[in-house]
Amino acid sequence: MQCPSCQNTDSRVLESRAADGGRSVRRRRECLNCEFRFTTYERVETMPITVLKRNGSRESFSRSKLLHGLSRACEKTGITATKLEEIVDELELTLQQRNGREVTSHDIGELVLEQLKELSEVAYVRFASVYKQFRGVNDFVKTLEGMHTSKPPLATV
């Protein structure tokens, strides 16, 4: 590891510990040449995921873009930022475990909707309205009716 101060490549590890929920290792190092101390992070290298958009264009998967969309859909619903991070982590892991490195925006949207359906009906409808490009009230009504028919009926006593 190259020292950020003197560019020497000889350093010793002073301390190592898990970071980022166990997905990376944080190491405190000391340069053997100038004694400058610095921190490095080691994580598993992942292959980039390409998203195929509706219009046919391609772009790199953006974790922050997905998190922003989820945050907007979940505003004032009581869902914590930590929970949203967990959803994005799980989704990203699911995408990384697929054989192909290309995924459609449709597939990502459906995975997100599956998660939101369990958490908050309001967040589900908000996200669906953007993802499915609702054109009017009828689109909202169809979605709400679909949510009621897919839920199991409550047992009556």
Task: Report d(CA 85, CA 55) in Å as an integer.
Answer: 28
Q: Is the pLDDT of residue 138 over 60?
A: yes
- Taking the model in full, what pTM does it have? 0.61
Residues 39 and 52: their CA atoms lie apart, in Å, by 37
Which sequence spans correspond to the domains of the chain?
A: 11-43, 50-150
Query: CB under 8 Å to 145, separation ≥6 — which residues?
Result: none
| Pair of tokens at residue 39 | 């921190």
Q: Give per-residue pLDDT as tens, 34-64.
A: 999 999 999 877 778 899 998 999 999 998 9
69-92 b/e (C-beta count within 10 Å ≥ 16 → b) = bbeebbeeeebeeeebeebbeebe
pLDDT band, very low/low/confident/very high, at 149 (cuts 50, 70, 90) = low
Taking the C-alpha atoms of residue 149 and residue 134, their distance in angstroms, rounded to an integer, is 20
Question: What strands, in cross-sheet order, belong to the sheet with 24-31?
Answer: 11-19, 24-31, 37-43
Helix, strand, coil percentages, rounded to 5, for the chain: 45, 20, 35
80-135 tens-digit pLDDT:
988 998 899 889 888 888 877 899 998 999 899 888 888 888 898 888 888 777 77
